[in-house]
Chains A and B, each alone.
Chain A
């Protein structure tokens, strides 16, 4: 597997708190995508970050990518109950031609 973490992780926080989710990967990549999957729905892309960006922001979201440590993070500031979802990072698969997903982080934001 290209991922360091294989089991779904879970976080439970209160609305208004900030949260950071991490993922680590084993194979080299130049880009990481973050997806969110709400209950009963398919994943939807939140943000894409390339290796030359190190940090990227979109609204309340902030993604980082550190290719030297082969890790990426997604932070959400001022969480809302509607942020409750599973968050996946995704990166290059073998051969560089496909997207491969990590196991995800289940985030529960309580009102």
Chain B
């Protein structure tokens, strides 16, 4: 079974602080994604990557940076955390891109910015 692990599982950050969320996959997938989920809403794409050392903007990239140092690892960085970034963040991977591709998700990171 494909595996995507995220760390930490939860985090409390202060406004204006730097936050780094990490994701590791053992699926040997080329594509990795960061989604944000707000209470009562669906998932929105922040950034994605299809190869190491390259990242692409998703639908809501403002206030976020991403880093893909290797095929297995993908990080989401909040340089200056804000209250509005309180949410649950999910990392996912897929073998290829496109709407036909099954996404494999991690368990999520619950981020609270105070």
Contacts and interface: CB of A to CB of B under 8 A. Distances in A.
Interface of A: 3, 6-8, 29-31, 33, 35, 40-45, 48, 50, 88, 90-93, 96-104
A98 B42 contact: no
Contacts of B103: 35, 43, 45, 99
Given A88-B42, A92-B98, 5 more contacts: A7-B40, A93-B99, A98-B99, A100-B45, A104-B42
A6 B40 CA distance: 10
Contacts of B105: 42-44
B98 to A, nearest CB: 6
B74 interface: no
Nearest to B101: A99
Contacts of A6: 41
Contacts of A91: 99
Given A41-B108, A100-B45, A102-B42, A48 B59 contact: no
What is the interface of chain B mostly: helix, strand, loop, or mixed?
loop
30 contacts: A3-B42, A6-B41, A29-B99, A30-B99, A31-B99, A33-B99, A40-B107, A40-B108, A41-B108, A42-B4, A42-B90, A42-B92, A42-B105, A43-B103, A43-B105, A45-B103, A88-B42, A90-B99, A96-B99, A97-B98, A98-B48, A98-B97, A98-B99, A99-B99, A100-B59, A101-B42, A102-B42, A103-B40, A103-B42, A104-B42
